[in-house]
Amino acid sequence: MTRTLRITYSLSFLGLLVGMGVWSLGGLQGFQRTAPMTLLDGKLAKAAETHYDAQFPIKRLGTNLWAAMDFKLFNEGRPGVVLGRDQWLYSDEEFKPAAGAEQRMQDNLALIRGVRDTLQQQGSQLVLAIVPAKARVYDEYLGKQRPASLHDDLYNRFHARARQAGVFAPDLMAPLEQAKARGQVFLRTDTHWTPMGAETAAQALAEAVGRQHLLVGEQQAFVTEAGPTAPYKGDLTHFLPLDPLFSNLLPAPDTLQQRTTRPAQAEAQGDDALFADTRIPVALVGTSYSANPHWNFLGALQQALRSDVANYAEEGHGPLVPMLKYLQSDALRNAPPQVVVWEFPERYLPMKTDLSRFDPQWIAQLKNTRKSEANLAMSSTRTHP
């Protein structure tokens, strides 16, 4: 190699490094320092490093390229999503086989029964709202990958076991299937139901509660107003990291019409309000199906039940943790409602939940409530699903 060629090669390589270095400085764009961040304790450097790593252009390029290859060549996304037909996406939690699932289902059912008994001791009636899996409601859009055999009759087994344990669990599958003829009840690119799906479930629950005469007292009227329709990028698209280079490959966004619900009449003011019963007749506990205002499940329940509803649902913790927290809350202890609606997606029944924040002895006590009855229910449903 001649001296001129070596110099040219070195300068080209140096220029490439400088160019990539300048380009990578874009990873610091948008970083904002907060008051607790200082150089002395290292928090500022750590925060800047984390932000830079997340925004590093070359890393983003590699991520986009790899995701595009998986998507186009193998019709796959990152772990967490299953690709269906016609741009339908599903959570892989509705497809996975699970080791030890039978024991976890037995443990979780025992907890459900214990929750029911604890609420009854407070004078509250449990209404278990089992949300059928999206892959069950919209199985016509499934691709080559199918749910594991564990999930085949999970919804029916869940209901059968709940009935055997004496838990009141109205069916939501049939109403959601019937509502599909009128519109979409689950979002195509998201794990959750649409506002219409949430409204369908709320109406089915309200009809079941009415047949059982679980709510007494004066009814309250609510009004639901629909806002404008806007594109909505579902949570399952996060497992397809194609932005920004291959965003054209992403499934088209859903359309979502935000709904809001309010009392038909303003609440009483003045002296009468001082002596009014402030106890809310219904409590709602559950997951992001209930906690996220996008779906307006809380408002749909209020309107369908013609009753105020207090919402204790939480996002990101599954159905068990919010309910166990509610059982230990002052809200239940001081003002128990007549009815507690527990929204419980079926896919969580065979899943393990981290309950380490709770006293193990208390959890064991909940599970051991009427233990012999639970074992009888399990053996019965194995024989007759």
**Catalytic (active-site) positions:** 190, 192, 288
CB 172 within 8 A of CB 204: yes
Long-range pairs for 371-378: beta carbons < 8 A, 24 or more residues apart: 371/110, 373/113, 373/164, 373/165, 373/166, 374/106, 374/109, 374/110, 374/113, 374/165, 376/164, 377/109, 377/161, 377/164, 377/165, 378/106, 378/109, 378/161
Nearest residue to 235 via CA among 348, 78, 344: 78
Using CA atoms, how far apart are residues 263 and 299, in angstroms rounded to an integer? 10
CA distance 137 to 282: 28
- How far is residue 201's CA from residue 220's CA, in Å, rounded to a whole number? 20
- Separation of CA 47 from chain center: 29
Neighbour-count burial for 153-162, b at 16+ CB within 10 Å, e otherwise:
ebbebbbbbb
Residue 110 structure tokens = 């025992």
Give the C-alpha distances (Å, rounded to integers) separating 137 from 94, 230, 255, 305, 341.
12, 24, 19, 25, 22
The Cα-based distances of 325 to 74, 288, 330 in angstroms read: 43, 16, 10
Q: Is 208 helix (H, G, I), strand (E, B) or coil?
A: helix
Strands (E), the chain: 81-83, 89-91, 125-131, 222-232, 254-263, 282-285, 309-311, 339-345
